[in-house]
Amino acid sequence: MTEKQFPREEYLASGHRGCAGCGAAIIVRQALKAAGKDTIVVNATGCLEVMTTPYPETAWRVPWIHVAFENAAAAASGVERAIKVLQRKRKKYANKKINVIAFGGDGGTADIGFQALSGAMERGHNMLYIMYDNEAYMNTGIQRSSSTPLLASTTTSPVGTVIKGEDRPKKDMAMIIAAHGVPYVATACLSYPEDFMNKVKKACEIEGPAFIHALQPCTTGWKYDPKYTVKIGRLAVETGVFPLYEIKNGEFKITYRPLKRKPLNEYVKLQKRYRHLTDKDIEMLQKYIDERCKLLGL
């Protein structure tokens, strides 16, 4: 028998209300296995918060707090400083190292929570912020966010007769946070658990703010068969749609390099949010992705 690779402890209990095949739940399971028990979670309003905590039931086995949609980073700032001062003044927590991890959706992070996040990253709090990116506002029924990719259809970027899907490219959150000069920024995907979990561990070990932009395929929002959640995440990476890298103390490194990038079509054809794409559209998108990959040295 091979050695056990992944910790057996579960910090997210079964019985949560996520859709069958929900990628957000996979991200949380993996992240908390990496971070371990001594972790406090701050959660922005969104699918993850709603599906895990209908009072009086909770799926969380670590201390967890939700305040509002746009302020997870600010609330986490308060948690982090409170731990610091209570350790110093009141000898609480037995001087244990406690991870403060904030989870925010793409809306709660790249849109409405952007200011609070920027503030928290700039102030140097010792926290890890994980943006679980399902590329739209899923909790309110699949509206576009600034993280929705070009041409994807959502309920507010519908396929009309004049405009066909999202008309703006995806906001590059990892690079924006990297520009804050924080010590650790990474991209990740649930389909590469070793890579993701390593990054969570590094982010927790590093003193100061860390940010992980984790791609999260969403069966309901992206409109694919739930069994493909992991497969689609893998294709996002293999096609170069979502490259995996880290920027540690300013040093950029690709953490997974596909042998040969797969054609974009393999990724989009599984998702009905791209159903309307013409060959020309795909060609255009492919070009766009090729250029971005070139920039990153992929």
* Sites of contact with ligand TPP (CB under 6 A): 45-48, 69-70, 105-108, 134, 137-140, 145
Say how far apart CA 101 and CA 36 lie, in whole Å. 11
* Cβ distance to another protein smaller for residue 16 or 273: 16
Per-residue tokens: 240: 């170069």
Nearer to ligand SF4, 28 or 79 (CB): 28
The residues in 248-267 that bind another protein, with binding defined as CB under 8 A, are none
Residue found under tokens 């927790």: 204
Using CA atoms, how far apart are residues 23 and 32, in angstroms rounded to an integer?
Answer: 14
Which residues have CB under 8 Å from 287's CB, separation 6+? none
The partner in contact with residue 69, picked from Mg ion, ligand TPP, ligand SF4, none with C-beta cut-offs of 5 to 8 angstroms by kind, is: ligand TPP
User: What's the token pair of residue 95?
Assistant: 């001087």
Angle at 51 (CA atoms; ends 49, 57), nearest 5 degrees: 95
Measured from the CB atom, the residue of 167 and 194 that comes closer to another protein is: 194
Residues 11-70 that bind ligand SF4 (CB under 6 A): 18-19, 22, 24, 47, 51
Instruction: Confirm or reject binding of residue 219 to ligand SF4 (CB under 6 A).
Output: yes
Residue in 154, 129, 182, 105 with CA at minimum distance from that of residue 276 = 154
Q: Give the position of tokens 């559209």.
A: 281
Residue 70 near residue 108, CB atoms below 8 Å:
yes
Q: Look at residues 114, 130, 235, 123 and name the one whose alpha carbon lies nearest to residue 187.
A: 130
Question: What is d(CA 36, CA 266) in angstroms, rounded to the nearest whole number?
Answer: 36
Question: Closest distance between another protein and the C-beta of residue 273, in Å?
Answer: 19
Task: Work out the widest C-alpha separation in the chain, in whole angstroms.
Answer: 64
Looking at residues 98 to 127 of the shown chain, list those that interact with ligand SF4 (rule: CB under 6 A): none
The partner in contact with residue 139, picked from Mg ion, ligand TPP, another protein, none with C-beta cut-offs of 5 to 8 angstroms by kind, is ligand TPP
Q: Which of 31, 47, 64, 188 binds another protein (CB under 8 A)?
A: 64
106 binds, among another protein, ligand SF4, Mg ion, none (CB under 5 to 8 A by kind): Mg ion
210-215 and 64-66 as β-strands: parallel, antiparallel, unpaired? unpaired
The least CB distance from residue 42 to another protein, in Å, is 7
Which is it for strands 210-215 and 184-189: parallel, antiparallel or unpaired?
A: parallel
Per-position x/- string for 81-120, each x denoting binding to Mg ion as judged by CB under 5 A, each - no binding: ------------------------xx--------------
What is the rounded CA–CA span in Å between residue 169 and residue 148? 7
Q: How far is the CB of 56 from ligand TPP (least distance, A)?
A: 21
Q: Which is nearer to ligand TPP, 126 or 187 (CB)?
A: 187
224 within 8 A of 272, measured Cβ to Cβ:
yes
Nearer to ligand SF4, 25 or 289 (CB): 25
Q: What size, in residues, is the chain? A: 298
134 binds Mg ion (CB under 5 A): yes
Q: Does 2 bind another protein (CB under 8 A)?
A: yes
Chosen residue from 31, 47, 48, 98 binding another protein by CB under 8 A: 98
Nearer to Mg ion, 108 or 243 (CB): 108
Residue among 28 and 83 whose Cβ is closer to ligand SF4: 28
Question: Which chain residues interact with ligand SF4 by CB under 6 A?
Answer: 18-19, 22, 24, 47, 51, 134, 138, 218-221
